[in-house]
Structure 1
C-alpha cells in the first residue's frame, strides 16, 4: 500500500497555475516526478482545484505554498 498523498486546494480552476509552477520547476531542471506531482483536478461541484503531491515537502508544494489562495487542509505547521 502506498503512502497517502499531501493535498493542496485552491478555490476556482487553478490547473493553469499548477502547469505554470511545473514549467518553472522544469526550467530549473526539476521533472514532474521529482517535483512530487501526482495528480490534479478541478472539482466542478466544489468549484475548487485539488492537487495531490507525494509529500508536504515536495518542490511543487513549496512552489505553490507562497501563492495566494492555496491551502493545505488538516495540516499541521512545518517543524523548524
Structure 2
C-alpha cells in the first residue's frame, strides 16, 4: 500500500517486483492515479506465495473501508514511515 503522506491518499496494488514498482511510483514513472495524487510512500506490504492469493488479497483490501486500510497500516507501521529504504537493503 502506498500513501501520499501520513493519513493521505492511499493506493493498493499488486506486483511481482516490489522494489521496481515502488521505484516507478517514487520517480513518477507510472502514469495515472499515483502520479496525479503524488502517492510515493510505501507504508504497508505483504508477501504471498502465489499470484492468485496476492490478487485476491488486493481485491479484498480494495473493497475495505478507508478506516480498515488505515488500521492495517497503523498496526504494522504506526508512524507511517516510508518502508522503501528498508526493503532496498
- Please identify which structure carries the higher strand content: 1
TM over 0.5: no
TM-score (norm 1): 0.30
- Please identify which structure carries the higher helix content: 2
Structure with larger RCO (C-alpha < 8 A, sep 6+)? 1
